[in-house]
Chains A and B, each alone.
Chain A
Amino acid sequence: MNGVEGYMYPNEITLYWSVLIVLYPFITGLVAGAFILASLERVFRVEAVKPTYRLALLTALAFLLVAPLPLVLHLGHPFRSPEMYFTPHDTSAMAMFGYVYLWYLMAVLVLEIWLDYRREIVLLSQQSKGLLRWIYKVMTLGSNNISARSLHIDERVGWVVTLIGIPSAFLLHGYVGFIFGSIKANPWWSSPLMPVVFIFSAMVSGIAGVMLLYMVLTKMRGQKIDMLCVDTIAMYMFYIFVIDFSLEMLDLIHRIYEADESFNSLNFMVHTKLYFSQIVVQICLGTVLPLLLLFLTQVVKLPEIARKRIYATSGCLAMVGVFAMRWNVVIGGQLFSKSFLGYTTYKMSLVTREGLLAAIALTILPLVFLWVLVKLLPPWPEKSAHQGAAAD
């Protein structure tokens, strides 16, 4: 009967948070993770990952620009969203979205990118023609000062921005974890660990994402992949992944041990409705397998080609695993009844505002934005010599 097994409160049968709400934390997670990778070089002086610094920032920006879209598409009244800016409710974690997003976008990401690229922007505004020239001119904010001293100031200020950006990134993604973790009505979500697990899995996905993009784009440009760079990235990804895995296991073991009133119902759900997405995809394929593969690269000296393949495979699996984690949290949290007596089914539609096609489009859109950003603000030195529109 309409996908319900056992007893659900009548209003619980429909799921109110769809795949778009799964996508949103995945996207902001990529933003936060990409930024953390960038900060590795900028703040923690890990020189090896410098080749990915600018790419990581552009990736973060591309995904951040798309981040509000799944939320807006989900709202019953999207045009009322400015209310979150005008009358944010100070007891609601969700209310901080507007301000945290704007802060992170303008005062962290855009500012840092602008400061890092300012020299190129000024030069390009003088060398370009037509519409492009105007775009660059606007981006200079009317200042053509690229003296050594001004660039030095940029560098210092940029360092501070990145430093502030790290807790800002944690806030941008951690508040989402708190949105779920603070709901006492839902035992699948309610946990103080939730924001921490979200942040660490976000870092895994963001770092994996930038690593994959770097490898793919470098190949597309016909250049050689900097192995020291990807080796270092993979190492950090491995360590963060270990922490993430430990946190998720801690949550699981704690649940099983305490076995509170919700345990039987949730346990049954994990073994039936969520079996594929949680056990198979998230845990086995998305966490354990990439961890084992990365572990291999950390303890055994493997040839370059093998390492590249393992990094690429682990990166893809990790990103799928992190997406599955968001799915299992959001969708899983709505599949069981708060009476602990039943389960419902998520009927994902195809062509509606909150359907599968919309989700796919929103996943591809950041890549389109990234393509535009890479053209506009080339992350690699040899491209800046051209007018930005040369290759492909």
Chain B
Amino acid sequence: MNLSRRHFLVLLPAAAVAWESVLAGTPEASPNYTMSDHWWGMLIDIPKCIGCGNCVRACQTENDVPDGFFRTWVERYHRTDWHLENPEVISPDGGKEGFPAVKEGGEGEYFFVPKMCNHCADSPCTQVCPVGATFISPDGVVLIDPKYCLGCAYCVQACPYGCRYVHPEKKVADKCTLCYHRITKGLTTACCEACPTGARQLADLKNPRDPIHEFLKTHSVQVLKPQMSTGAKAFYNGLDGSVR
């Protein structure tokens, strides 16, 4: 590997700026980031997901997710002729190590559904927090304040999607943060970074140049449990009607 002096000089200040933001911890997440310029969501492209589990592992690494609990997980559905009535779903350890291989010649097809916090615009979880420890940020990310949370678990009960849990050691509620610490610095989420097929894509609905706008106009897109009217912002392309 050849690192030219020129490249090195370019890198150094960029790394320094990023590192400063990491150390700063100031209310404005990092220089050049204005919360009101963004409204975050995620696009999940079901036909592209191969169930490799990279996203689950990357999330655990990036966010120190405790074993047995999941900020994101992958489900595998078996498409049969009556799977709408009775879906067959598995998620072995959240899909963290992928899924057991299925032999050729069996009945029906399969598909994978990555799940995560939907960062609902009308989230029922933030509604029920008794003290204001969980909230939606001005840029559309539902976050938990671990210094303020009582650990009452009311928000866990209120989430229709099962994306919250109580951290076994910290004893506060925890869940996907849409890698807030990354997206506010121009990076993408850990799960999107690790996905080899582009099945997961971070989306900024306030950015006119974000591909999500064109995608939503040209594809059949759904959210999970639309009847709950949560204003979910995780958009699924090609979501089967049997997905729970």
Spell out A's residues near B (CB within 8 Å): 7-12, 14, 16-17, 74-78, 80-81, 83-84, 87-89, 91-95, 97, 179, 182-186, 333-334, 337-341
Contacts and interface: CB of A to CB of B under 8 A. Distances in A.
A2 to B, nearest CB: 9
A7 B73 CA distance: 13
A91 B124 contact: no
Given A87-B131, A94-B128, A183-B158, A75 B163 contact: no
Given A84-B131, A179-B154, A184-B228, 16 more contacts: A7-B90, A8-B162, A12-B162, A75-B151, A76-B149, A76-B152, A77-B171, A87-B131, A88-B130, A91-B128, A92-B128, A183-B157, A185-B124, A185-B228, A338-B162, A339-B89
B83 to A, nearest CB: 11
B239 interface: no
Given A89-B130, A186-B157, A340-B244, A80 B148 contact: yes
29 contacts: A7-B90, A7-B91, A9-B73, A9-B162, A9-B163, A10-B70, A10-B73, A10-B94, A11-B156, A11-B163, A16-B165, A16-B166, A75-B150, A76-B149, A77-B149, A83-B133, A83-B150, A88-B130, A89-B132, A92-B154, A93-B128, A95-B130, A185-B124, A185-B228, A333-B157, A339-B89, A340-B244, A341-B87, A341-B244
A184 B130 contact: no
A387 B162 CA distance: 59
Given A76-B171, A92-B127, A92-B129, A17 B94 contact: no
Contacts of A95: 130-131
B87 A14 contact: no
Contacts of B200: none
A177 to B, nearest CB: 14
Interface in B175-212: none
B131 A89 contact: yes
B234 to A, nearest CB: 14
Contact of B129 (A89, A97, A339): A89
A83 B165 contact: no
B111 interface: no
A76 B166 contact: yes
A84 B152 CA distance: 11
A89 B155 CA distance: 13
Contacts of B93: 10
Contacts of B150: 75-78, 80-81, 83-84
A70 B128 CA distance: 20
Contacts of B233: none
Interface in B106-131: 115, 124, 127-131
Contacts of B228: 184-185
B49 interface: no
A334 B228 CA distance: 19
- Interface of chain B: mostly helix, strand, loop or mixed: loop
B231 interface: no
A9 B131 contact: no
B168 to A, nearest CB: 9
Contact of A16 (B90, B124, B130, B156): B156
A153 B26 CA distance: 59
B130 A84 contact: yes
A148 B213 CA distance: 80
A179 to B, nearest CB: 7
Question: In this complex, which of A8, A9, A182, A338 has the most chain B Cβ atoms within 10 angstroms of its Cβ?
Answer: A9
Given A10-B73, A185-B124, A17 B130 contact: no
A352 to B, nearest CB: 13
Contacts of A88: 130-131
Given A17-B157, A77-B150, A89-B130, A11 B70 contact: yes
B164 interface: yes
Nearest to B70: A10
A341 B163 CA distance: 16
Given A10-B73, A76-B150, A185-B228, A87 B132 contact: yes
B69 A97 contact: no
Contacts of A84: 130-131, 150
Contacts of B153: 16-17, 76
Nearest to B77: A7
Nearest to B127: A91
A34 B154 CA distance: 28
Contacts of A179: 154
Which 9 pairs between the two chains have the least Cβ-Cβ distance? A76-B151, A76-B171, A9-B162, A339-B244, A185-B160, A16-B153, A95-B130, A94-B130, A11-B165
B44 interface: no
A81 B148 CA distance: 10
B172 A77 contact: yes
Contact of A92 (B90, B130, B165): B130
B42 interface: no
Contacts of B154: 92, 94, 179
A76 B168 CA distance: 9
A14 B156 CA distance: 11
B215 interface: no
